[in-house]
Amino acid sequence: MRTILHVDMDAFYASIEERDHPKLRGQPIIVGGSADHRGVVSAANYPARKFGVHSAMPMKTARQLCPQAHFFPVRMSAYAEISHSIQKIFRKYTPLVEPLSLDEAFLDVSGSQLLFGNGREIATAIKQEISQSLQLIASVGVAPNKFLAKIASDAEKPDGLVVVEPDKIQEFLDPLSVSRVWGIGKVATQRFDRLGIKTIAQLRVMEQKILSELFGEQGSHLWHLAQGLDDRAVVPERQAKSISHETTFSSDINDLEILKTVLIGLVEDVARRLRKNKLRGKTIQLKIRYDDFSTFTRSITVSQPTDLTRDIEHSALQLLDQKLPDRPLSIRLIGVGVTGFQSGALQQKSLFDEEELQKFSRLDQVRDQIASRFGSDSITRGNRISSEDSQEETSS
- Which residue type occupies 302? V
- Which residue type occupies 270? V
Q: Where are the beta strands (DSSP E) in the chain?
A: 4-9, 29-32, 41-44, 70-72, 97-101, 104-108, 138-143, 161-163, 242-253, 279-290, 295-306, 331-343
Nearest to 388 by CA among 6, 7, 14: 14
Neighbours of 352 (CB within 10 A): 15
Q: Which residues are catalytic?
A: 104
3-state secondary structure 208-225: HHHHHHHHCCHHHHHHHH
Q: How does strand 242-253 pair with strand 331-343?
A: antiparallel
Distance CA 99, CA 106 (A): 6
Distance CA 218, CA 237 (A): 26
- The CA–CA distances, whole Å, from 157 to 154, 195, 338 equal 6, 31, 32
What does the CA dihedral 278, 283, 288, 289 come to, rounded to 10 degrees?
-80
Distance CA 87, CA 103 (A): 9
What does the CA dihedral 201, 395, 48, 45 come to, rounded to 10 degrees?
110
Backbone dihedral angles phi then psi of residue 182, each to the nearest 5 degrees: -50, 130
Burial zone of 321 (CB within 10 Å; 0-12 exposed, 13-18 middle, 19+ buried): exposed
Distance CA 93, CA 91 (A): 5
DSSP 318-353: HHHHHSS-SS---EEEEEEEEEEEEETTS----SS-
- Please, which residues bridge with residue 40 across strands? 58
Q: How does strand 161-163 pair with strand 138-143?
A: parallel
Peptide bond into 95 cis (omega under 30): no
